[in-house]
Amino acid sequence: MDGVNQKATIQLAGHEYTIQEIIYDNETIVLADSDALRGGKCPRVRHNVSFDEAWLQYPTSPENLTFLFDCNLPAADPIITTRGKNRIGCQVSSGSSFVFTPGQLDASTESELAKYCAPAIVVPIDVIGMAELENNRTMLLDEYGVVIEKGFELGWRLGKNDGCDLCQKSHGQCAYSQNKTLLGCLCSDGKMAVDNSTNCSPPRL
């Protein structure tokens, strides 16, 4: 992880995400696409979210926004005409751009738009953010970046046989390398557990 603007970042599948929050009690991390954070209210989202499912997973089924950019549309397509209400108001690509909540994009519409647009990009957001967008069309089309900025949750599942569970039970925090090897146990006093131990509790005399 790297410190950027006083917030740490993490690389997932070659893309940078800003860590908005770490919830240790339920082993959950809240991430936001760093590139999208720099895009204001209408960021150009450039990639899907992918990660190593061996140690990360969505804690619940994600709520996804689907984006279609660089669309060069024919004027008289009835399917596209009916979906004009999902056109993004900001100029974020060379052509028209669209954003859909899960209930707004059916298979036939997506198939038709795919003929004229760049490949669809799917972005997870939190449940509360999705509810805001579904109830506020102006926010969906002109200010969706506000919700993307809040990020999405991922849970981590690190090996329970590497000593991390003992560290956590002693009120420490597990420190891992980039390749997910346990480096040690960071105790509440800011120091690592002594003698490469994974236990912050003082030894009994």
Which range of residues forms the domain containing residue 84? 2-156
Domain assignment present for residue 102? The answer is yes
**pLDDT given at position 164:** 78
Residue 101 and residue 43 share a domain: yes
Q: In this structure, is the dihedral angle defined by the CA atoms of residues 35, 41, 42 and 45, taken in order, positive or negative?
A: positive
Q: Is 40 left (phi over 0), alpha (psi -120 to 50) or beta?
A: left
Residue type, 136: N
| Same domain (yes/no): 81, 141 | yes
pLDDT at position 148 is 93
pTM: 0.73
Q: Does 17 share its domain with 72?
A: yes
Q: According to the model, what pLDDT value does residue 162 have? A: 66
149: phi then psi, degrees, rounded to nearest 5: -60, -30
- Does 39 lie in the same domain as 6? yes
pLDDT class of 192 with cuts at 50, 70, 90 = confident
> DSSP per residue over 54-96, as a string?
TTEE-SSPPEEEEEEEEE---TT-HHHHHTGGGB-SS--SSSE
Q: Are residues 172 and 190 located together in one domain of the fold?
A: yes
3 state DSSP class of 29: strand
Instruction: Give the total number of structural domains in the chain.
Output: 2
If asked whether residues 78 and 127 sit together in one domain, one would say yes
124 and 24, same structural domain?
yes
In a domain, 204, yes or no: no
The answer to whether residues 65 and 146 belong to one domain is yes
Q: In the prediction, which pLDDT does 4 show?
A: 43
The pLDDT of residue 151: 93
Residue 33 and residue 92 in one domain: yes
77 and 96 part of one domain = yes
Hey, what's the torsion of the CAs at 112, 118, 124, 130, to 10 degrees?
-50
